[in-house]
């Protein structure tokens, strides 16, 4: 798997505040795609696409609590 990290400009983090951070994109070339956003405040937005086509989405606020509201679509890198 090869991974790339790219910075992103401030956008609304799972905590509701605007922060910048880094996007991580990993792909294995066979269907596994991992997209993680690490915000400067400590929040994370996670999207994992698996070989069978299933997708796992989650978001964690900077205080460690999971976000239960609908997660915004990933805008890519």
pLDDT tens for each residue of 11-70: 999 999 999 999 999 988 888 999 999 999 999 999 999 988 899 999 999 999 998 755
- Give pLDDT, residue 31: 85
pLDDT of residue 77: 47
> Taking the model in full, what pTM does it have?
0.79
The predicted structure's pLDDT at residue 2:
66
SS (H, E, C) the chain: CEEEEEEEEEEECCCCCEEEEEEEEEECCCCCEEEEEEECCCCEEEEEECCCCCEEEEEECCCCCECCCCCCCCCCC
Which pLDDT score, from 0 to 100, does residue 3 have? 82
């Amino acid at each position: 798997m090869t991974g790339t990290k790219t910075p992103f400009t401030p956008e609304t983090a799972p905590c509701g505040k605007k922060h910048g951070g880094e996007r991580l994109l990993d792909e294995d070339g066979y269907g596994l795609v991992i997209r993680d956003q690490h915000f400067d405040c400590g929040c994370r937005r996670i999207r994992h696409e698996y070989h069978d086509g299933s997708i796992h989405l989650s978001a964690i606020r900077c205080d460690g609590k999971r976000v239960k509201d609908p997660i915004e679509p990933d805008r890519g890198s």
